[in-house]
């Protein structure tokens, strides 16, 4: 039985919530274990990374559940950009956590301490890695159906968390054989990954807040113009303005039609352009079409 887009959204919303709870819980366990028993910097770093990735999944969950409230008299274009503000806030927190991880990794490098019970920490990190990889793979499969960039970003971020968990396992196993420097090195690597992804996330959120259009947005503009010009009665499509707001795209299109066209004919053309564009571009939520009359004498 084929799933509707609404049911896919509901399932994706559920898996995002499960990811949030799972990663945050595993992160807290690893931090407590690393701070009190294991004394492992890489385990602590991976715990913070798990919590950070859990926050990202929480933002996506909030976007799917709350930020799609319908537009009202105050917010004419809806609440999508709250997702971008929340993403920037979460990224700032992650930068602070990365700074703490770097500080701990440096201390471990210059004043190395033996990691206690490394195999227990390795088992916990391995379980966290398996869970993260499984959840990320599931979300990648679902995001192909849903076509939402925020879900895609969350999926790859979750897989990244699984990768850092396996790196932590390697660090703990090496520490058990006396290579304590591996603990601090993996801590530096995890902090670097957090900062790198943080910069990418804050850059994307900033671009969305100022309505920048690049990458796939530019490609969508060309596609919408092409779709419009293929509709019978449209002489040309002149202007396409697009902006991404959260998981969706909103746009404006200007078309030129014969001046003698009736309102009913024009309405059919507009509906056809919107139908084709939204079918081909699943992220396109709203397309406003303005009309310019085309006079043969002027041509």
Computed on alpha carbons and rounded to an integer, the radius of gyration of the chain in Å comes to 25
Kind of pairing, strands 236-245 and 248-258? antiparallel
Left, alpha or beta for 178 (phi > 0: left; psi -120 to 50: alpha)? left
| Each residue's pLDDT expressed in tens, for the chain with a length of 299 residues | 444 555 655 666 777 788 888 888 988 998 898 888 888 888 888 888 888 788 878 877 776 676 667 777 777 666 767 767 777 777 787 788 888 888 888 888 888 777 787 888 888 889 988 988 888 887 777 665 555 556 666 777 788 888 888 988 988 888 888 888 888 888 898 888 888 877 877 887 777 777 777 777 788 888 888 888 888 888 888 777 888 776 678 888 888 888 777 888 888 888 888 888 888 887 787 888 888 887 654 44
pTM for the model stands at: 0.69
DSSP bridge partners of 251: 242, 287
Burial of 266 (0-12, 13-18, 19+ CB in 10 A): middle
Phi and psi at residue 289, to the nearest 5°: -115, 120
DSSP bridge partners of 292: 256
SS3 of residue 12 by DSSP: helix
DSSP bridge partners of 228: none
SS3 of residue 141 by DSSP: helix
């Amino acid at each position: 039985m084929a799933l509707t887009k609404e049911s896919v959204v509901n399932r994706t919303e559920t898996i995002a919530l499960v990811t949030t709870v799972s990663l945050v819980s595993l992160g807290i366990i690893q931090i407590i274990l690393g701070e009190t028993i294991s004394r492992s910097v890489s385990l602590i770093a991976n715990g913070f990374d798990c919590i950070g990735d859990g926050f990202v999944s929480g933002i996506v969950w909030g976007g799917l559940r709350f930020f799609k409230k319908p537009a009202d008299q105050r917010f004419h274009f809806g609440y999508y950009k709250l997702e971008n503000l929340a993403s920037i806030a979460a990224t700032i927190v992650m930068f602070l956590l990365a700074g703490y991880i770097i500080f701990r990794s440096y201390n471990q490098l210059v004043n190395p301490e033996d990691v206690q019970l490394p195999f227990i920490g390795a088992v916990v990190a391995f379980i966290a890695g398996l869970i993260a990889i499984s959840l990320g793979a599931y979300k990648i499969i679902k995001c192909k159906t849903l076509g939402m960039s925020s879900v895609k970003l969350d999926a790859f971020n979750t897989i990244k968390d699984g990768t850092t968990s396996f790196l932590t396992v390697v660090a703990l196993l090496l520490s058990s054989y006396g290579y304590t420097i591996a603990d601090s090195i993996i801590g530096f690597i995890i902090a670097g990954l957090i900062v790198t992804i943080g910069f990418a996330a804050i850059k994307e959120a900033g671009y969305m807040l100022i309505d920048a259009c690049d990458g796939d947005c530019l490609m969508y503009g060309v596609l919408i113009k092409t779709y419009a010009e293929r509709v019978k009665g449209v002489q040309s499509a002149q202007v396409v303005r697009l902006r991404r707001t959260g998981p969706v795209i909103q746009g404006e299109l200007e078309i030129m039609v014969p001046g003698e066209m009736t309102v009913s004919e024009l309405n059919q053309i507009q509906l056809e352009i919107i139908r084709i564009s939204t079918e081909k571009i699943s992220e396109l939520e709203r397309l406003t079409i303005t009309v310019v009359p085309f006079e043969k004498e002027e041509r």
